[in-house]
Structure 1
Amino acid sequence: MSAWWSSLSPLNQMFYALAVFFSALFGWQLVSSFSALGDGDLDASADDVDLADGDGDATWDDTDGDAFDQDSESLETFRLLSIRSILAFGTLFSWAGALYLQRSLFPGLALLRALLWGLAGMVTVALFFWLLPRLTEEGTANLDTAIGQIGTVYMDIPEGGVGQIKVLVSGTTSFVRARSHDGRYLPAGTAVRVISRPDSSTLGVEPVEA
């Protein structure tokens, strides 16, 4: 192993080191995402506070509330996906670069091909996580069956705005749009109880007191 490592160029060694680093982060992020571990997500960071504060002007009675919520949700989704996409880019870019360099490909060409692999991975992961909640929502039979259920905030619910929760609907785990019943901010990972259905695609929730 040491002989193999010593035979690599410094640039190739750097790419392999980056590949291991990004692979570990990307794998951990995927596990956290599917487990809906809000505290473990890279997405639940200090950046969320700024986004939540920006949503504070929206209220349930605001005539432009629906449009505002849609814009807020789109921004939140883009921010969420961009983090995972960047990790996917770093993982594929570094692995491709390392392997192409090991095959003695010209460094400039190796970097170009690695860049293409990274961009392909970035787009693929972004599309996957963008489609996943929507495919789940399409299979939702009746949101009324979720009333009384305990769920978990999957995407931050901003103050007075709309986020997303993971909850049982008709016996199936689903990702559903949700509002805080009293308009408070609820971060990802918060345990919540569904208490109402404000409209056809949104649930009203309140935090479960410890």
Structure 2
Amino acid sequence: MARLTPDTPFIHPDCEMSDASFGAFVEIGRGTRLAHSHFDDYAYCDRYCDIANATVGKFANIAAFVRIGATDHPMDKASLHHFHYRSGDYFDDAEHDDAWFAHRRTRRTIIGHDTWLGHGAQVRPEVTIGHGAVVAGGAIVTKDVAPYMIVAGIPAVPLRARFAPNVADRLMALAWWDWPHDALRTALDDFRTLSAEAFLERHEGRATGPKASM
């Protein structure tokens, strides 16, 4: 029987979850901290990720120790320290600054469909990683990444596109990540054996993917 299911995410031990939601066939690696975020269908992260205020697209591949949406400190105020917004932890007669936390949650990071974030990568708040993009291990992404682009470095810069622009555009139009589960199974051998261009040639024009065998 398949380990992953459409109904319940597979959450490994020692995770911390706060205001998290999940699509179908999702897996969350051991020790991950996940807050105010959504994982769409088939997305997963490996061990000890720290993800906040993020929308993670379908089929996203997130390696171990990735950090997404790292929260920031108020650099324009007299102190950086969180005593003045986590004030209830320090003073009996004070409350946390809810407005500051609400502001943080508005600064969402968007991870596109079928993306790959390598080991230890970081993606800053309000950054969008385009569909099919790759972030190299250890990179720190401070700006939006175009679809099907490979980026690396600190700060991350483009290395090269995964495909020629017309192939990337055709993959975006095909949007195979929206196919139903049985269509993915029917096309499994094609995913395994065909190049991207050959896959497109076989499947373009099929709005919801190949018909599942009965």
Q: TM-score normalized by structure 2?
A: 0.27
Q: Which has the higher helix share?
A: 1
